[in-house]
Chains A and B, each alone.
Chain A
């Protein structure tokens, strides 16, 4: 008996030793070989993924929302994909996709780029991420007014971030843009890979400065009715500082006619659906175009006299109404040149 226990004791000691020595090192193999580690992330690796998040929302679900609520197009009378939008009966979960893409793919990745580029003083990417963050957050604020901002993007640190009001967020975004604009930009140090990662301007930092200034202008103009003093002083400061604004479209191009690489509104409204003809001409838009002999009518609808339905008339409308013309290669424009000029005109 005594030897038995002595043996057992010795045995467990030996086993314990064996286990401990080899254990930790042997078992430290839980890093996935199938995806890169976070430490592999650099601004040029992560930035385009962020761009996709903004593009998907602004160019996809929110583009359709805007097209219908802006009364450019209306739901077809022969199908029913967007009936709830046209009827202004959008329910709680209907726009989740846009919200999710802007936060989880857009803002989160931009924040990573901001933090990383600040660490390495890479002010080129800093202004790129700052401008895109401002753009994406501003779209959300304009749509929802109150969004989580100051407590957001912390992952497990805060799973229920509180909602902040639009004005405070705007101020913070303006501050961020000012910081970014004040940093020295040096496009010469960008590597070819980094230039390609800039899917919007291919590393042209002058254009990014212009984009950032245009963003500031846009935000001040949005504040004109509620906070006129802020707007006034902000715009005056912009012009006093000799700010230059966008002279080209700022947006995503390069879409091709291949599944998952095409314009998001085309992908989700045409390629991925059985019925590719849900969006038809709206009389609101066509009557305006016709009244002004606007040549863009052919661009949008393929003919100078499209058959149009009244906005929202999908129960009684013509089932043969003209379908909106969409191409897989259409770009997604964030701020167009026209918008840039329009804002400058408004500012004066």
Chain B
């Protein structure tokens, strides 16, 4: 095949001769695989790993040499047959970025802030998901992974703008939007988001478009910015094989700190079946403990178990391998890759496993004026995910059970969960379950198949005028299967009344849940492009196009509880019929758009763009949305002819408007299955052989409007000392109006909710990125990048009749937006205070009295974020590390809540658990003549038995939330890697052109504030959108990884 192509090309260029040469960089080092093309023809080759190339070219041809990160150069070969080229580092002006709709253009023309990453930067620490590699490296981007292998990643660019969720950016792969859905997710389980299906080794580069001006061409999807991913493509030349492999081991990260003074018991005394550490002081004496079985008991010393929870967790492993083949001739090039990730997390048993197989095949073909590129990708995932959050009547969730083990009882002893002392009948406490039971007996799995790709055709009519047709699709099928085992303690056993407190554990009725989800999108663009000069000074780059987008979703779920035969997990296994539900959703959008860029003397660029969308989810008579945008970029250093230290001064300004059409089906009134809430419990149909649908209590809105985001941004990029030092500054103000919410209304209207556009959220902030190369010598160089960003978020207004919007709740703590304040504020009960600052306590219990209004505990938004990336290169050794520091912000911790309840928490040894009186407190003794309360100094003692109640909301709602809402600042070492490129002599022994090995570490938590005794602040099981800002609710801890990697090119 290759030889045929060579023949064809040889015939076509009969006049051509063989030209050879070498491509080097400014330091004289070879540029491996540099691209060499004959200008004005499709004839091109890639140099080998030593920069040597061979190409057919006629005399006086112009050869164009280019490579990533280096400035292209053109050389007229004249009559020579040997041509060498030296390429200099790319200046900021010729760097290329990918902008909306997959159009590449030089960074000079771009009037808004962008950040780019190349493949090497992304894959340095061998992440399984591309987004993990970007965490902490982009100013203004809040990126956090919320759990273990395969879990979801939260990505918020420039603050939360949307009350109802949908704050993730648009992901675009090779110009086609990529769905980022989360299937089967709830507070109890997370199977990750759509981006997890992409193999990071397939990515050539990522450009992050943070602002609305940048993404306004995408219209209704890109209200939160866009992340543009470009995949690797083949280059012409001989067949290249690349292998990337890594093995890493994970250990558990931050775990709660326990108090080590008091052991099992309640109310200050030792109680055998209790699940907390409210007992006597630990004295190391060997005593009997746990259940009494067959008239015997186990014995152990009554002392603190060090690293009790740490020992519960295993060492996880992850194997990540990708093999790619690429190559091609002058007409067609291809790229094929196969990647596999096999990961077992730190939780013992198969509870957290992630396995992904990805296949990719991409071709590029060029025939004279016509190019056709294709991309076909398939990703298969098999994942087991742990049950987090609260258990239910069907079965337990692991982390809740681990936290309810007293500090003197070794958790790992319970691994033998069928042992007569540790089983369902005789586990030491009826108030909790053996954590190893749900670990081995319950399971949560998801298998999914995803296929996405596109065909991209380009035809150049003339040098200036061309047309592009791109059709893409993305189809996912996910199947979820979960089960919880049925069990009940036997009558008379320790856990069914046979213990010293006579308590019983309610049976676990077990459950089987089956879910199926389908999501398919089709996206087509037809674009006409025009590039020319209107005059010698004025250049024009313009395009106009049409877009068609369609999304179909279908899901169904069925569940049984009350399993009949234990161990048999099928929907037929219950006396009760399964509850089943199904759901379908379709939406379509048609858009037209246009953009023109006027350039003046290559120094001043004005970009104007406009898009109009028609959406199926808006009322049919008013379904049009218009989005304009404009940006200005001025390369001031060229205009002002700056010399000296400043090598580049560029000023930017931009303005853009995007929006979001609503979710489908909010417009028309409907019926709804009869379902009535009783306050506690419900009454639902079908009932008594009859079913019924009443008029839906939520009124649709026939004049529903889209949500509109407008943003203005100004910025500058300054580079000093020939590019050795650079500063990028951006300031933005983003307003999101017309949020779509269901507002509660008076039931006398016949309805309880109205879907309405309301409210306005404002995000403004500043982003700073400083990059420097302090040392740049022949053998050694040092470069670093520092980023800083701060965002101010404010809910400017809601609507009449709505004072606030509650975004999420956990017990009495809530995430609420009040107009005039930050959108994500955390509120919970606080004590009542007198005018002179004394706490009012109850005259009966001595516990703080609750104030009438909930108190404000702080915003969840970080005060600021900083990142630092450092890289040292010595000959062939590279050492890099990256730090992520986030200061401020608060969160609610469900882990803290449970640990305060059980007396395991570090802070529950206040006053050495001796009786105390709430400091600085008063009681109300009556009211005076004018009705004002009279206070007297409080003398009610909280004794040993009441001490426990002080830490729990049932008796001390007012005072217990201070230990549950914590500051979530942290400093993490995101990744550190040391790599070594082996000498060519060694590599050649295995016929390799480039062999490098490395070691790396990821996600090491270095610091959290003293008050955070509990959990890694990034962990959350409340999703990856605005609801997760409340915090976490008994979720799995996150882990850190240490690994080795190998890269080989052949």
> Looking at the complex, which one of B583, B670, B681, B685 makes contact with A49 (CB distance below 8 Å)?
B685
9 A-B residue pairings within 8 Å (CB atoms): A18-B546, A23-B614, A27-B616, A29-B586, A104-B750, A155-B751, A199-B688, A260-B683, A272-B681
- Knowing A48-B674, A61-B678, A196-B689 touch, does A155 contact B668 (C-beta < 8 A)? no
> In the complex, A345→B546 CA distance in Å?
80
Central interface residue in B670, B674, B694, B695, by most chain A CB within 10 Å = B694
* Complex: chain A residue closest to B666, CB-CB: A30
List the A side residues contacting B679 at CB < 8 Å. 60-61, 97, 268
Central interface residue in B670, B671, B681, by most chain A CB within 10 Å = B681
Central interface residue in A37, A107, A268, A269, by most chain B CB within 10 Å = A268
Are B751 and A46 interface neighbours, CB within 8 A?
no
B residues 676-720 in Cβ contact with A at 8 Å? 676-685, 687-697, 699
Asked if B195 CB lies within 8 Å of chain A CBs, one says: no
B residues 647-670 in Cβ contact with A at 8 Å? 664-665, 667-670
Are B750 and A154 interface neighbours, CB within 8 A?
yes
- Knowing A32-B664, A52-B683, A61-B678 touch, does A103 contact B690 (C-beta < 8 A)? no
Are B749 and A37 interface neighbours, CB within 8 A?
no
Are A267 and B749 interface neighbours, CB within 8 A?
no
Interface residues of B (CB under 8 A from A): 528, 530, 532, 534, 544, 546, 576, 582-590, 592, 614-618, 620, 623, 664-665, 667-674, 676-685, 687-697, 699, 745-752, 754
* Complex: chain B residue closest to A95, CB-CB: B679
Name the distance in Å between B688's Cβ and chain A's nearest Cβ.
4
Interface contacts beyond A22-B590, A104-B747, A104-B752: sample of 7 additional A-B pairs, CB < 8 Å, sorted by A = A4-B532, A19-B614, A27-B615, A49-B685, A52-B683, A103-B750, A108-B695
List the B side residues contacting A53 at CB < 8 Å. 676, 694
Central interface residue in A19, A45, A112, A260, by most chain B CB within 10 Å = A260
Are A27 and B614 interface neighbours, CB within 8 A?
yes
Q: Chain A, 106-120, contact with B by CB distance < 8 Å: what is the 0/1 string?
A: 011101100000000
List the A side residues contacting B534 at CB < 8 Å. 1
A residues 13-64 in Cβ contact with B at 8 Å? 15-16, 18-19, 22-24, 26-38, 40-41, 45-50, 52-53, 55-56, 60-61
Are A50 and B690 interface neighbours, CB within 8 A?
no
> Looking at the complex, which one of A15, A30, A103, A267 makes contact with B683 (CB distance below 8 Å)?
A267
> Looking at the complex, which one of A34, A111, A161 makes contact with B583 (CB distance below 8 Å)?
A34
> In the complex, A314→B530 CA distance in Å?
83
Are B664 and A105 interface neighbours, CB within 8 A?
no
Name the distance in Å between A297's Cβ and chain B's nearest Cβ.
28
Are A268 and B693 interface neighbours, CB within 8 A?
no
> In the complex, A79→B670 CA distance in Å?
42
Are B685 and A35 interface neighbours, CB within 8 A?
no
CB-based closest 9 A-B pairs: A49-B694, A272-B681, A48-B692, A49-B674, A254-B688, A32-B665, A108-B750, A153-B750, A272-B680
Central interface residue in A18, A48, A199, by most chain B CB within 10 Å = A48
Asked if A176 CB lies within 8 Å of chain B CBs, one says: no
Asked if A182 CB lies within 8 Å of chain B CBs, one says: no
List the B side residues contacting A196 at CB < 8 Å. 688-690
Are A35 and B754 interface neighbours, CB within 8 A?
no
Chain A: interface secondary structure? helix
Asked if A293 CB lies within 8 Å of chain B CBs, one says: no
Asked if A303 CB lies within 8 Å of chain B CBs, one says: no
> In the complex, A45→B671 CA distance in Å?
10
Asked if A159 CB lies within 8 Å of chain B CBs, one says: yes
> In the complex, A273→B747 CA distance in Å?
26
> Looking at the complex, which one of B587, B590, B615, B697 makes contact with A104 (CB distance below 8 Å)?
B697
Asked if A156 CB lies within 8 Å of chain B CBs, one says: yes
Asked if A92 CB lies within 8 Å of chain B CBs, one says: no
Are B689 and A112 interface neighbours, CB within 8 A?
no
- Knowing A27-B615, A35-B696, A97-B677 touch, does A158 contact B749 (C-beta < 8 A)? yes
Are B683 and A23 interface neighbours, CB within 8 A?
no
> In the complex, A230→B480 CA distance in Å?
66
Are A34 and B592 interface neighbours, CB within 8 A?
no
- Knowing A159-B754, A268-B679 touch, does A29 contact B587 (C-beta < 8 A)? yes
* Complex: chain A residue closest to B620, CB-CB: A28
> In the complex, A199→B686 CA distance in Å?
12
> In the complex, A15→B530 CA distance in Å?
17
> In the complex, A36→B671 CA distance in Å?
5
Asked if A224 CB lies within 8 Å of chain B CBs, one says: no
Asked if A258 CB lies within 8 Å of chain B CBs, one says: yes
List the A side residues contacting B615 at CB < 8 Å. 27
Are A15 and B695 interface neighbours, CB within 8 A?
no
A residues 243-277 in Cβ contact with B at 8 Å? 253-254, 258-261, 264, 267-269, 271-273
List the B side residues contacting A27 at CB < 8 Å. 588-590, 614-616, 620, 623
- Knowing A35-B693, A56-B678, A100-B752 touch, does A29 contact B616 (C-beta < 8 A)? yes
List the B side residues contacting A197 at CB < 8 Å. 690, 692
> Looking at the complex, which one of A32, A48, A50, A268 makes contact with B670 (CB distance below 8 Å)?
A32
> Looking at the complex, which one of A28, A253, A264 makes contact with B616 (CB distance below 8 Å)?
A28
Asked if A8 CB lies within 8 Å of chain B CBs, one says: yes
> In the complex, A264→B675 CA distance in Å?
12
Asked if A322 CB lies within 8 Å of chain B CBs, one says: no
Asked if A12 CB lies within 8 Å of chain B CBs, one says: yes
- Knowing A60-B678, A154-B749 touch, does A38 contact B670 (C-beta < 8 A)? yes
> In the complex, A271→B678 CA distance in Å?
12
Are B745 and A159 interface neighbours, CB within 8 A?
yes
Central interface residue in A23, A52, A61, A97, by most chain B CB within 10 Å = A52
Are A19 and B546 interface neighbours, CB within 8 A?
yes
Asked if A289 CB lies within 8 Å of chain B CBs, one says: no
> In the complex, A199→B673 CA distance in Å?
16
> In the complex, A16→B615 CA distance in Å?
16
Are A38 and B669 interface neighbours, CB within 8 A?
yes
> In the complex, A288→B836 CA distance in Å?
53
Name the distance in Å between B550's Cβ and chain A's nearest Cβ.
9
Asked if A11 CB lies within 8 Å of chain B CBs, one says: yes
> In the complex, A258→B673 CA distance in Å?
18
